[in-house]
Amino acid sequence: MPELPEVETIRGHLAPHVEGRTLEAVEILDSRWCRPLAPAELTAAIEGRVVEKLARRGKYLVWELSDDVYLLMHLRMTGTLLLDPSPPPRHMRVRIDLGDHVLVFDDPRRFGTGELALGPEALDAFFDARLGVEPLERDFTGEHLYSLAQTSRAPIKAFLLDQKRVAGVGNIYADEALFRARVHPLRPANRLNRAQAAAIRDGVVESLMLGLEAKGATIDDFRDPYGVSGSFQDQFLIHLREGEPCVNCSNTVRKLRVAGRGTYVCERCQPRPRPSRRRT
């Protein structure tokens, strides 16, 4: 699934080609993409509007259109936005005509979504209900993360994947961050101390920044709008390295399941937490 670096890579590539241009025609080929709105309702709301800015919030691409209309795109598992693809991709769900460019939303598994917000208040309400702090902004501090973690008994890996807590971090970058912080992914969030929370914060930021520099990670489906893969997968310290020696200590990397996701860990560098004692 595209995470913050992948979505930001897409945004950065697309912005110069779409900002200031008009959505001349929007063709929604799969009604599932915009549920519960009907395709005709969504196209009527956005066609003919100028793209004032292409932004990002968490894993969402935010199309800021004229007259305070917002199109909110989420790529989910396998969605990709391709600019002027030739030939058209097999799994085209949406086609947007920008005059001198054509943008296509390609999605083999059909999980990607397009949603509508009318006005800044509706936009704020949409994100307030779904997303927490942006991890590359000033508010994401070790102390902030520690305070958030005290309210959750979930494993810290599951905590980091919860978009209502930290927006934009997914499976890859959570694994990489926890390895850098030397914290086991099964450690309950509310059993972190301040030093561990600060280390996780730093690990998240470092991993995301490296992902941005590498134009994202391509494991299965991610491509930028030109069809080019990212390269962060070549820098993984722990993710997908099951059975390989740890880059720090040479211990064998294990694969676990946490929050239903494949999770990679070195249990020498990231000691497994001891079971908490039951009170009698």
Q: Please name every residue paired with 112 in a beta bridge, in sequence order, or none if there are none.
A: none
Residue 17, marked binder: no
Residue type, 127: F
Is 6 known to be catalytic? Answer: no
Copy the structure tokens of residue 141: 């501090």
Among 3, 6, 8, 176, the active-site one is 3
**Total number of residues shown for the chain:** 280
Q: Is 242 known to be catalytic?
A: no
Provide, for the chain, the percentages of residues in helix, strand and coil under a 3-state DSSP scheme, each rounded to the nearest 5: 30, 20, 45
The answer on whether 109 is annotated among ligand-binding residues is yes
Catalytic residue among 19, 191, 261, 273: 261
Catalytic choice (6, 39, 56, 59): 59
Residue 56: active-site member: no
Residue type, 157: K
Tokens 């549920």 correspond to 35
- Identify whether 261 is a catalytic site residue: yes
Given a contact cutoff of 8 angstroms between Cβ atoms, the answer to whether 193 and 206 are in contact is no
Question: Up-side HSE of residue 159: CA atoms within 13 Å toward CB?
Answer: 28
Per annotation, catalytic residue among 2, 5, 39, 155 = 2
For residue 96 the two structure tokens come to: 């947007």
Residues of each annotated binding site: 91, 109
Active-site positions read: 2-3, 59, 261
Residues of each annotated binding site for DNA: 91, 109
